[in-house]
Amino acid sequence: MSESKGKTFEGGLSAQGLRFALVVARFNSFVTDRLLAGAQDAIARSGGDLAQVDVVRIPGAWEFPVTLRALAKTCRYDAIVCLGAVIRGDTPHFDYVAGNAASGIAAVGNETGLPIAFGVLTTNTFEQAIDRAGGKAGNKGFDAAMTAIEMANLLRQLATEVRS
Ligand code: INI
């Protein structure tokens, strides 16, 4: 049995007073529009003000990293949510697009310290993507927005409450 004498920090799930950017890829928009609706639903249900939530549309998942870097520089947002769908085709193209998106998104988050939630589907089929965009496997846009809310609250808490 371990007994901790330290504090526990955990981000809350209220979006009140938080500002978000939702970056949405137009490629596979049938899927990404549903991810966007899920993310907006999560923020609204969590007490957020959708007037404080900017939507940034980009051509495809390849464009996430450069867009995120520009948004991070504005210092306007508490967190950003990436919403995209990269679906495997017959060529290796998928690997380049999905790989650059994933590693680039992670790099911007790590470099800037801004919470960036990964709501980018990488699937073998269109059906798998639909299942995860409001179908039988839930809505990963909703889930990513909830993660963004929690992380924005956690980082605020750590910045204000942790004393050495
Ligand atoms: N972009 C996606 O978001 N999803 C995909 O499945 C996809 N495929 O398969 O090609 C895709 N390609 C476009 C890419 O993201 C760029 O927008 C394009 O290469 C221009 O830079």
Work out the average pLDDT over 32-58: 98
CA of 142 to the centre of ligand 1 (A): 22
CA-nearest of 10, 27, 34 to 157 is: 10
CA of 154 to the centre of ligand 1 (A): 33
Cα–Cα dist 118/39, whole Å: 12
**Considering only CA atoms, which residue is closest to atom 1 of ligand 1?**
60
Average pLDDT, the chain: 96
pLDDT, residue 162, reads: 76
pLDDT, residue 100, reads: 97
Instruction: Decide: helix, strand or coil at residue 86.
Output: strand
Q: Fill in the amino acid letter for 33.
A: D
Work out the average pLDDT over 138-150: 98
pLDDT, residue 5, reads: 83
Domains and CATH numbers, the chain: 25-163 (3.40.50.960)
Cα–Cα dist 50/35, whole Å: 15
Q: Is 64 close to ligand 1, i.e. is its CB under 6 Å away?
A: no
- pLDDT tens digits, residue range 58-97? 999 999 999 999 999 999 999 999 999 999 999 999 999 9
Phi and psi at 86, nearest 5°, equal: -110, 120
Could you identify the atom of ligand 1 that is nearest to the CA of residue 58?
17
User: Is this prediction's pTM over 0.85?
Assistant: yes
**Considering only CA atoms, which residue is closest to atom 15 of ligand 1?**
60
Q: Is 27 close to ligand 1, i.e. is its CB under 6 Å away?
A: yes
